Amino acid sequence: MTLIETARAVRENAYAPYSKFKVGAAIKATSGAIYAGCNVENVAYPEGTCAEAGAIAAMIAAGDTRIAEIAVIADSPKPISCCGGCRQKIAEFADGDVVVTLTTVDGVTAHTTVADLLPGSFDADYMSRV
Q: What is the pTM of this model?
A: 0.94
We report the CATH number of the domain holding residue 119 as: 3.40.140.10
120 has pLDDT over 90: no
Contact 39, 49 (CB under 8 A): yes
Contact 80, 49 (CB under 8 A): no
Interval 35-55 mean pLDDT? 96
Helix H or strand E segment including 37: strand 34-38
95 has pLDDT over 90: yes
Contact 102, 112 (CB under 8 A): yes
Distance CA(65)–CA(108), nearest Å, equals 30
Confidence at residue 13, expressed as pLDDT on a 0 to 100 scale? 98
Q: Which domain holds residue 122?
A: 3-127
The answer on whether 39 is annotated among ligand-binding residues is yes
Confidence at residue 110, expressed as pLDDT on a 0 to 100 scale? 98
The answer on whether 99 is annotated among ligand-binding residues is no
Contact 109, 74 (CB under 8 A): no
Number of folded domains that form the chain: 1
Instruction: Name the band, by pLDDT with cuts 50, 70 and 90, for residue 12.
Output: very high
Active site residue 52: yes
Distance CA(2)–CA(7), nearest Å, equals 9
Interval 59-81 mean pLDDT? 97
Strands 34-38, 109-113: pairing is: unpaired
Of 5, 12, 47, 52, the active-site residue reads 52
Instruction: Name the band, by pLDDT with cuts 50, 70 and 90, for residue 56.
Output: very high
The answer on whether 44 is annotated among ligand-binding residues is yes
What's the sign of the alpha-carbon dihedral 125, 117, 14, 8?
negative
